[in-house]
Amino acid sequence: MIRYTKRDVATSFTAVAFTIIAVTGVMMYFHLLDAYTKKLHENLGLFFVAAALLHMYANWGGMKNYFRKSLFHIAIALGTVVSLGFILTAETGKNPKNYVINSVLNAPIESSFVLFDKDTQKLRDKLDKAGIVIGNSANINDIAKANHTSPFKIITIIEK
């Protein structure tokens, strides 16, 4: 039976996770297969953190020596400056997707219904058939609240 040390396990899993995180990060930068890579990158990122912590634990004696070196302190300072540079210069404006979604959900019913079908009566009939009461609701959000459901369920019904 083969026995592995903590160091063997920690290093192997850290190296594999790092490689996948690096590849998916580059793919995300170039917007390659975004729908697939984002989820993998985010979830494996959590696994990578756990593997890295295990790696530090298994190699703590050697790690302490690195912490004393001036190169380590330079790397920490440089990493901090670069990170702060990205954080402080990030765009903080409104997310255009949220703006569009909220505009549609809060627009008058007739205006938002036109986006889905020119025949707004047909959409009203679809909602009625699904048991959704429009009543005096002013917009899709109001319809959803009055029917104790999600506005996205309302859109799903009218999109069928």
pLDDT one-digit tens code per residue, 43-73: 999 999 999 999 999 999 888 988 899 999 9
Residue 94 pLDDT grade (very low, low, confident, very high; cuts 50, 70, 90): low
Of the candidates 57, 27, 55, the residue with the CA atom closest to the CA atom of residue 39: 27
Q: Contact at 8 Å (CB) between 109 and 140? A: yes
Reduce the DSSP state of residue 3 to 3 states and report it: coil
Look up residue 104 and give its amino acid. V
- Which pTM value belongs to this model? 0.52
Give the residue, 153 or 118, on which the prediction is more confident: 153
H-type alpha helices, the chain: 6-29, 34-58, 60-68, 70-89, 96-106, 109-114, 120-129, 140-146, 151-159
Reduce the DSSP state of residue 134 to 3 states and report it: coil
Give the per-residue pLDDT at 93: 67
Residue 1 pLDDT grade (very low, low, confident, very high; cuts 50, 70, 90): confident
The whole-angstrom separation of Cα 19 and Cα 137 is 52
Length of the chain, please? 160
- Quick one: tokens of 44? 């494996």
Question: What is the rounded radius of gyration, in angstroms, for the C-alpha atoms of the chain?
Answer: 26
**Per-domain residue ranges for the chain?**
6-89, 96-159
Residue 113 pLDDT grade (very low, low, confident, very high; cuts 50, 70, 90): confident
Q: Contact at 8 Å (CB) between 139 and 107? A: yes
For residue 130, what are the CA distances in angstroms to 29, 34, 48, 107, 142? 43, 35, 46, 22, 17
Give the per-residue pLDDT at 115: 84
The DSSP call for residue 69 is: S
The whole-angstrom separation of Cα 71 and Cα 65 is 11
Give the per-residue pLDDT at 55: 92
The whole-angstrom separation of Cα 19 and Cα 85 is 25
